């Protein structure tokens, strides 16, 4: 009980601070990704490569899109034309509420009227996670679609326009992606519990949620809104009295908000852990600092240093790379 009460207090503080058409296959350039997880530990010492610690100017982008059947959450470094770029892609089945554990996905890259480029990732490197390396031959604003076959159908998830820069200098001058604040709730956590959201659509009549989806806080009733792949935000709402196990929400939501209807208890526990970890991290490292792991990889330009946050060991072209495990790290 004390755990839940403390978690509610943390969430209250956060709430106060925040008050298609299928493409044609004609002319595609198809490559096959052979990425796979071989089922063994990817420890740093076991593979003999060195990890350093230090500052890095690496810029990354994070994208979340909810399709009709699948949610896509992916992260990738800012893209330079001609450079292979890893797309760490989390695929969640919104109907079954589970990660995609088998089968291919295909990325289709389009730039204006140029011939589309297709890239196939044959299997996930581990449950729910695909890591294809995509190469964009030209600078410009690209359109990316992800094709996911399932039960004889092909589900298409279209990503927002993606910028590809001509040089590293262009990346250096580009603005950082705006950080989304909230409670960190990792995909690995979401996939362990029943985690379900329902989209709020204004003007569609009464919007009700299960009674357990509403949390009582100092400012009144609150719900959690899934704002990005691994981020949720508490929202203070006005509600009717519970009836038959459900509560009608009268105000406090915006059109398109994805309200968490299953998994609230797990979020509360994560919120408390997140808060305590950030507090300890601030005392140890100084405000605003984040644990990080640097790893070396080979590209056409030679060895390049990349810094990744909040993670687990995953294979990169047959060699492991690491991101420091930490639930308190805000996505950047």
Task: Give the per-residue pLDDT at 278.
Answer: 62
At 88-105, the pLDDT tens digits run: 999 999 999 999 999 999
**pLDDT at residue 321 above 70?**
no
Per-residue confidence at 194, pLDDT binned at 50, 70, 90?
A: confident
Task: Give the per-residue pLDDT at 279.
Answer: 59
Q: How far is the C-alpha of 137 from the C-alpha of 139, rounded, in Å?
A: 7
CB atoms within 10 A of CB 219: 12
The mean per-residue pLDDT over the stretch 155-166 comes to 98
Q: Which two tokens stand for residue 86?
A: 């890893």
Q: Which two tokens stand for residue 3?
A: 């755990």
The mean per-residue pLDDT over the stretch 122-132 comes to 97
Q: Which residue has the higher pLDDT, 23 or 187?
A: 187
Task: Give the per-residue pLDDT at 58.
Answer: 84
Q: Which two tokens stand for residue 221?
A: 């009733």
CB atoms within 10 A of CB 110: 14
From first CA to last CA, the distance across the chain in angstroms is 33
Mean pLDDT, all residues of the chain: 75
Burial per residue of 136-153, b for 16 or more beta-carbon CB atoms within 10 angstroms, e otherwise: beebbebbbbbbbeeeee
Q: How far is the C-alpha of 114 from the C-alpha of 118, rounded, in Å?
A: 13
**pLDDT at residue 188 above 80?**
yes
Q: How far is the C-alpha of 9 from the C-alpha of 238, rounded, in Å?
A: 19
- Whether the Cβ atoms of residue 56 and residue 292 lie closer than 8 Å to each other: yes
Per-residue confidence at 171, pLDDT binned at 50, 70, 90?
A: very high
Q: Which two tokens stand for residue 152?
A: 């004889």
At 3-62, the pLDDT tens digits run: 333 444 445 455 544 444 444 333 333 333 334 343 333 333 333 333 333 334 589 999
Which candidate, 152, 143, 162, 122, places its Cα nearest to that of 36?
122
At residue 322's C-alpha, the angle toward residues 321 and 324, to 5°, is 170
Q: How far is the C-alpha of 215 from the C-alpha of 268, rounded, in Å?
A: 9
Which candidate, 101, 158, 157, 108, places its Cα nearest to that of 130?
101
Of all residues in the chain, the percent with pLDDT exceeding 70 is 65
pTM equals 0.69
Which candidate, 60, 142, 138, 146, places its Cα nearest to that of 100?
146
Residues 136, 138, 140, 143, CA torsion sign: negative
Q: How far is the C-alpha of 175 from the C-alpha of 288, rounded, in Å?
A: 19
Per-residue confidence at 218, pLDDT binned at 50, 70, 90?
A: confident
What are the CA-CA distances from residue 9 to residues 138, 215, 221, 328 (Å)? 50, 11, 13, 17
Which residues, including other chains, have CB under 8 Å from residue 153's CB and lie 6 or more apart? none
CB atoms within 10 A of CB 212: 13
For the chain, domains (ranges, CATH) are 21-177 (2.60.40.1930)
Task: Give the per-residue pLDDT at 260.
Answer: 96
Q: How far is the C-alpha of 121 from the C-alpha of 123, rounded, in Å?
A: 6
Most distant pair of Cα atoms in the chain: their distance: 64
**pLDDT at residue 233 above 60?**
yes
The mean per-residue pLDDT over the stretch 107-132 comes to 97
């Amino acid at each position: 009980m004390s755990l839940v009460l403390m978690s509610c207090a943390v969430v209250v503080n956060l709430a106060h601070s925040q008050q298609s058409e299928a493409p044609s296959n004609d002319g595609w350039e198809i490559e096959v990704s052979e990425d796979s997880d071989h089922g063994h530990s990817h420890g740093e010492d076991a593979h003999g490569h060195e990890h350093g610690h230090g500052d890095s100017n690496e810029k990354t982008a994070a994208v979340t899109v909810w399709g009709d059947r699948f949610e896509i959450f992916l992260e990738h470094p800012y893209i330079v034309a001609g450079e292979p770029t890893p797309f760490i892609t989390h695929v969640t089945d919104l109907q079954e509420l589970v990660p995609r554990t088998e089968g291919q996905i295909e990325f289709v890259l389009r730039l204006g009227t140029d011939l589309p480029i297709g890239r196939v990732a044959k299997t996930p490197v581990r449950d729910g996670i695909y890591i294809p390396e995509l190469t964009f031959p030209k600078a410009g604003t690209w359109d990316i679609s992800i094709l996911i076959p399932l039960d004889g159908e092909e589900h298409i998830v279209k990503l927002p326009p993606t910028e590809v820069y001509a040089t590293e200098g262009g990346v250096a001058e580009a603005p950082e992606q705006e950080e989304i604040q909230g409670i960190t709730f990792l995909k690995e956590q979401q996939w362990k519990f029943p985690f379900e959201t329902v989209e709020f659509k204004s003007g569609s009549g009464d919007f009700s949620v299960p009674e357990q989806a509403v949390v009582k806080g100092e400012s009144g009733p609150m719900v959690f809104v899934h704002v990005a792949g691994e981020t949720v935000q508490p929202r203070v709402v006005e509600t009717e009295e519970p009836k038959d196990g459900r509560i009608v929400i009268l105000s406090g939501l915006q059109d398109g908000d994805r309200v968490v209807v299953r998994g609230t208890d797990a979020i509360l526990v994560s919120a408390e852990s997140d808060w305590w970890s950030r507090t300890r991290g601030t005392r140890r490292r100084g405000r605003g600092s984040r644990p990080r792991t640097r790893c070396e990889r080979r590209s056409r330009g030679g060895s390049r240093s990349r810094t990744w946050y909040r993670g687990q060991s995953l294979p990169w072209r047959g060699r492991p790379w690491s991101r420091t495990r930490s639930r308190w790290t805000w996505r950047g």
